[in-house]
Amino acid sequence: MTGLCILTSGVMEEVVVDGKTVLQGAPLTIRAFESTLGTPGAWLVAIALALFAFSTILGWEYYGEKALEYLTRSTSAAMAYRILFSVIAFVGCISAFEIAWDIADILNALMIIPNAICMILLVGPLFKDMMDYEKKEKSKK
């Protein structure tokens, strides 16, 4: 929907000036909504962006805390996680935009490691369950 708004609003001509990209990301989206809806459009995007960012931070914190509680069965570890998460969130707020996104991308990519390990460990039980299911289906016929 955002892409459609950007393309149909006519702000794409403003994106590149003298070979330099001047608008991208949130400023581009805000400009697109502002060009069609006026000042309320800019406010709408700004408020939606702030609410989305806040809810995302809360969701990631809660998800990580509950995963840590499950793995460690310790409330003190969860409290340490909260403190560490708060410090990292603060550093993310005051650091350069690109650095914060690069760190977030790297940490999300590192989640491949535990997921890949779990998938490899679950191949055996999955194969066994699949064979049991196929036997049951063949016996029904």
- Please write the tens of the pLDDT for every residue from 18-58: 777 777 888 888 988 998 889 998 999 999 999 999 999 99
Indicate whether this model's pTM tops 0.95: no
Q: Identify the residue whose tokens are 């998938």.
A: 119
Q: How many CB atoms lie within 10 A of CB 89?
A: 13
Q: What's the pLDDT at 130?
A: 95
Query: Which residues make beta-bridge pairs with 16?
Result: 21
- Weakly modelled stretches of the chain, pLDDT under 50: none
Rounded to whole angstroms, how far apart are CA atoms 130 and 126? 6
Cα separation of the two ends of the chain = 49
Position of tokens 């650095």?
A: 99
**pLDDT attached to residue 100:** 83
Tell me the C-alpha to C-alpha distance, in Å, between residue 56 and each of 17, 23, 49, 132: 33, 24, 10, 41
Yes or no: say if 93 and 72 are a contact pair by the CB < 8 Å rule: no
